[in-house]
């Protein structure tokens, strides 16, 4: 059995693993960056180790720093959580080389299935249908453009590594191809450290249904049924549920059998997810996520099983704690992702201090979060605040229960997508199970009307202040680096995000809406620009933020540099 487990992640997944460790008598070791000095996961673990500055590439994405933290804390195993290094074969290899148990599949299985390109090949060999696509050996812009032409528009340009909609761009017009390739590559490099791309044909209006699989080291591979994940915005899942409202028993049997076949062919071990697109009675293999999923609580809700506990048992060499005949779907479970983002500003990510945070306390409701009242939502990481999960004996009751739970959430200090979630959940399309993967991108504006209004006498989200952002970083002197005891850090300034600032001489300055990294500056002083032209491309909270000219003009000056970390409201480009 694992004795000392280091959790190479943060937030709610780190807390989830810490709770499982307590039940099994395993000592938990958290890692934290400078941005997470006072985070709940760092305080909840038995021990905590600082791994570096706030940017993920210097902390949570640094393989040497994580391995060194494990060595210093005498850990004998590492749980990668999801995101960051969880699907990184080099990280799994580094754990194996260091004599550490990696709570997940082998590095070889991650290489096979963590690469969407290799996973497609293996699925084809296993006789499972795949979405038509092309994997160019030539990964240059010209190579990808040739692949797009061969597959034929419309297509998706997709990152081979990672998931979560990162490094993914749709291309429906020829003029979109080159900028989409470059944007997908940049985002994939920033999120996963791997810019490899492939091209996949777009299947219009499919449903996204995934199957949870689990395998042990004794040769047993099983499925834990499916999850419906079609409620997406820009390829990022928003609401997930189990069972899928669109599957017949026959289609469910075919898909779960295909998922198990793929996992067995890959020599897979531990928890993983096989993702499919469903169009009518047909389904296509999409990819495999070689890790635990963000939406795993809905599977736990309908099966009554603890997936994280099982992960630790299997990683310790024990057999799966369940058998196929013991597992069934009971009732219905739905999860909504509560994000720090402003739907009225194009879902602009928010960062700052939660001046108020209250979770619902209702029967059949579970909240997984990694934040507390008074805590910070950092600019450096994914803006998810919490997952709110409702489980009930029927789908209608689960929907109503989740709506009631979200209405009881109390948040101020930053804006969130709560009102947007409520409108989607209570829509006719969702209640009928009719939302496909592109629905919110086509029809989402209908859910944005009065998205900030709240009912039943509740105070509006963020009513105490304008959208706030935090740009401060905790200095290394603010805490003791290796004993896990955070010191009190200075409060962060709060400012409303703005995109331009006018001056008396008719000039205006494009400003940063939040703390971000400057990715690209396509203009220089003296350039003529037209309204809508890109002047600066920023990256923050795992998202690219394009800033555009709001009128025709001439670039008077550029006040930032590519690669620079800029603060909220910083002047970036002056135009006249």
Task: Give CA angle at 282 (259, 128), nearest 5°.
Answer: 35
For the chain, where do the domains classified as CATH 2.40.50.100 start and end? 500-575
**Count, residues in the chain:** 576
For the chain, where do the domains classified as CATH 3.30.1490.20 start and end? 132-201
| Contact between residue 357 and residue 372 where contact means Cβ atoms under 8 Å apart | yes
Provide the CATH number for the domain formed by 331-465 in this structure: 3.30.470.20
Dig out the tokens for 96 from the structure. 């194996």
SS (H, E, C) 197-251: EEEEECCCCCEEEEEEEEECCCCCEEEEEEEEEEEEECCEEEEEEECCCCCCHHH
User: Quick one: pLDDT at residue 449?
Assistant: 65
CA separation for the pair 530, 520 (Å, rounded): 18
User: Quick one: pLDDT at residue 473?
Assistant: 28
User: Quick one: pLDDT at residue 361?
Assistant: 95
CA separation for the pair 133, 197 (Å, rounded): 11
Rounded to two decimals, what is the model's pTM?
0.82
User: Quick one: pLDDT at residue 238?
Assistant: 96
Task: Please tell me the CATH superfamily of domain 132-201, with its number.
Answer: ATP-grasp fold, A domain (3.30.1490.20)
Q: Output the CA–CA distances (angstroms, integers) from residue 536 to 339, 342, 495, in the order listed.
A: 25, 20, 20
CB burial string 196-214: b at 16+ within 10 A, e below:
bbbbbbbbeebbbbbbbbb
CA separation for the pair 266, 285 (Å, rounded): 14
Nearest Cα neighbor of 110 from 293, 3, 236, 263 is 263
Provide the CATH number for the domain formed by 205-327 in this structure: 3.30.470.20
Dig out the tokens for 238 from the structure. 């928003």
For the chain, where do the domains classified as CATH 3.40.50.20 start and end? 4-103
Fold classified for 500-575: OB fold (Dihydrolipoamide Acetyltransferase, E2P) (2.40.50)
User: Quick one: pLDDT at residue 55?
Assistant: 87
For the chain, where do the domains classified as CATH 3.30.470.20 start and end? 205-327, 331-465
User: Quick one: pLDDT at residue 501?
Assistant: 61
User: Quick one: pLDDT at residue 234?
Assistant: 85
Dig out the tokens for 221 from the structure. 């591979």
Fold classified for 4-103: Rossmann fold (3.40.50)
User: Quick one: pLDDT at residue 488?
Assistant: 29
Query: Rounded to an integer, what is the distance from CA 23 to the centroid of its chain?
Result: 27
Query: Splitting the chain (576 residues) into consecutive groups of 10 residues, what average pLDDT does each group show?
Result: 97 98 98 96 98 93 97 98 94 98 96 83 93 91 96 93 81 95 90 88 94 97 98 93 98 98 96 96 94 97 98 98 90 98 89 94 97 92 95 98 98 95 97 96 82 40 31 28 35 41 71 88 94 91 86 94 87 94
Q: Per-residue DSSP letters for 473-531?
A: ---GGGB-TTT--BPPPPPPP-B---SEEE-TTS-EEEE-SSSEEEEE----TT-EE-T
> Position of tokens 């500003």?
345
Can you say whether residue 452 is alpha, beta or left, with left for phi > 0 and alpha for psi between -120 and 50 degrees? alpha
């Amino acid at each position: 059995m694992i004795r000392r487990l280091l959790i190479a992640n943060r937030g709610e997944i780190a807390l989830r693993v810490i709770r499982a460790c307590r039940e099994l008598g395993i000592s938990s070791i958290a890692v934290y960056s400078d941005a997470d000095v006072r985070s709940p996961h760092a305080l909840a673990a038995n021990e905590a180790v600082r791994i570096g500055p706030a940017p993920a590439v210097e902390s949570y994405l640094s393989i040497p720093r994580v391995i060194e933290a494990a060595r210093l804390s005498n850990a004998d195993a590492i749980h990668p959580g999801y995101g960051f290094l969880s699907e990184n074969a080099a990280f799994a290899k580094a754990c194996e080389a260091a004599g550490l148990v990696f709570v997940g599949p082998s590095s070889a299985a991650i290489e096979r299935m963590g690469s969407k390109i290799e996973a497609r090949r293996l699925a084809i060999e296993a006789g499972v249908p795949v979405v038509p696509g092309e994997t160019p050996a030539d990964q240059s812009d010209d190579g990808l453009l040739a692949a797009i032409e061969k597959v034929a528009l419309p297509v998706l340009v997709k990152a081979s590594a990672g998931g979560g909609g990162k490094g993914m761009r749709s291309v429906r017009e020829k003029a979109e191809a080159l900028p989409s390739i470059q944007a997908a590559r940049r985002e994939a490099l920033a999120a996963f450290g791997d810019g490899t791309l492939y091209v996949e044909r777009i299947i219009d209006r499919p449903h996204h249904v995934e199957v949870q699989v689990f395998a042990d080291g004794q040769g047993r591979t099983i499925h834990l049924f499916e999850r419906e994940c079609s409620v997406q915005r820009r390829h990022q899942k928003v609401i997930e549920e189990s069972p899928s409202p669109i599957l017949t028993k026959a289609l469910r049997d075919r898909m779960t059998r295909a998922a198990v076949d793929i996992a067995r062919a890959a020599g897979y071990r531990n928890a993983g997810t096989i993702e499919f697109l469903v169009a009518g009675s047909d389904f296509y293999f999409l990819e495999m996520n070689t890790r635990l999923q963000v939406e795993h609580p809905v599977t736990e809700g309908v099966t009554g099983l603890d997936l994280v506990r099982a992960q630790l048992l299997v990683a310790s060499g024990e057999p799966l704690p369940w058998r196929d005949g013991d597992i069934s779907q009971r009732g219905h479970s739905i999860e909504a992702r509560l994000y720090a983002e402003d739907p009225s500003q194009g879902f602009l990510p928010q960062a700052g201090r939660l001046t108020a945070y209250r979770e619902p306390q209702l029967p059949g409701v579970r909240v997984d979060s990694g934040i507390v009242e008074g805590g910070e939502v950092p600019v450096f990481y994914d803006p998810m605040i919490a997952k709110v999960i409702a489980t009930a004996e029927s789908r209608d009751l689960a929907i109503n229960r989740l709506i009631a739970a979200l209405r009881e959430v109390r948040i101020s200090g930053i804006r969130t997508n709560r009102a947007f979630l409520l409108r989607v959940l209570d829509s006719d399309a969702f209640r009928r199970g009719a939302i496909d993967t592109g629905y919110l991108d086509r029809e989402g504006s209908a859910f944005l009307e009065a998205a900030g209004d709240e009912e039943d006498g509740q105070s509006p989200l963020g009513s105490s202040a304008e959208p706030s952002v935090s740009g401060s970083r905790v200095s290394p002197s603010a805490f003791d680096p290796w004993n896990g005891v955070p010191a009190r850090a200075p409060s962060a300034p709060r400012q409303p995000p703005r995109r331009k600032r006018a001056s008396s001489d008719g000039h205006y300055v494009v400003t940063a809406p939040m703390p971000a990294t400057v990715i690209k500056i396509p203009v220089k002083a003296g350039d003529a620009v037209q309204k809508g032209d890109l002047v600066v491309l920023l990256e923050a909270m795992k998202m690219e933020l394009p800033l555009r000219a709001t009128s025709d003009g001439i670039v008077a000056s550029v006040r930032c540099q590519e690669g620079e970390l800029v603060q909220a409201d910083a002047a970036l480009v002056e135009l006249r």
